[in-house]
Chain A
Amino acid sequence: RKEVEQDPGPFNVPEGATVAFNCTYSNSASQSFFWYRQDCRKEPKLLMSVYSSGNEDGRFTAQLNRASQYISLLIRDSKLSDSATYLCVVTGVNTDKLIFGTGTRLQVFP
């Protein structure tokens, strides 16, 4: 079983739509969780952290369910510029490294 699993997509949505991505992780001892964004043939960049209480940054909302080992990202009012691959990331246990999911590709069309 992969340490971090995501639906690869692609998710094709019109501008203005709301879209949600999910992610599951295998190690219940994982402590910290993040979403990164990667544009085509570019480097990944941190989008936001994910907290148990949920957190929001503009049109983006991230949630964590530790009991189900499940992380989500919600994007409201999608923009063309949101088209990218969204990577679910967890920290390793007792190690200083980030473990990346394979990513979910989003394509927003006019």
Chain B
Amino acid sequence: NAGVMQNPRHLVRRRGQEARLRCSPMKGHSHVYWYRQLPEEGLKFMVYLQKENIIDESGMPKERFSAEFPKEGPSILRIQQVVRGDSAAYFCASSPWAQLGRTGELFFGEGSRLTVL
């Protein structure tokens, strides 16, 4: 049973370009979360999606960032017109159910490290 798969693992973009990060959840998991981790900082929640629905996007910046989780295919985190401050590790996590309070277990991918030049 493959774990959460993220790609690319490393991405370099110049300012103003677009970055697309992909996440395939574990088999059977329909809940996907995106977190951002800046150097020397903690994981910051960005968005929570279920298939075809955004459930909670309270952590997403208002501009340039968007996320989707289509019926078929991976979840995508898209960052338009990247700036240096977007350089970070972006982690995707999945869960087979909501109500994380029950187990607290999110299964994380290895992350996508974005560097903006």
Binding site for B on A (CB under 8 A): 4, 31-34, 42-46, 49, 87, 89, 91-92, 95-103
Contacts and interface: CB of A to CB of B under 8 A. Distances in A.
18 contacts: A31-B101, A32-B104, A34-B104, A45-B108, A46-B105, A46-B106, A87-B42, A91-B100, A95-B58, A96-B99, A97-B100, A98-B106, A100-B35, A100-B42, A100-B43, A100-B45, A102-B40, A103-B42
Interface in B86-104: 91, 98-104
Closest 3 CB pairs of A and B: A102-B42, A32-B101, A43-B108
B48 A87 contact: no
Contact of A96 (B40, B44, B48, B109): B48
Interface residues of B, number: 27
A89 B45 contact: no
Contacts of B99: 96
A102 B100 contact: no
Contacts of A42: 110
A89 B56 contact: no
Given A43-B91, A43-B110, A43-B111, A98 B42 contact: no
Given A42-B110, A97-B48, A101-B42, 11 more contacts: A32-B104, A43-B110, A49-B104, A87-B42, A95-B56, A95-B58, A96-B98, A100-B45, A102-B41, A102-B42, A103-B42
| Majority SS at the chain A contact face | strand
B43 A87 contact: yes
Contacts of A92: 45
B69 interface: no
A97 B43 contact: no
Contacts of A98: 33, 45, 100, 104, 106
B1 to A, nearest CB: 16
A55 B16 CA distance: 49
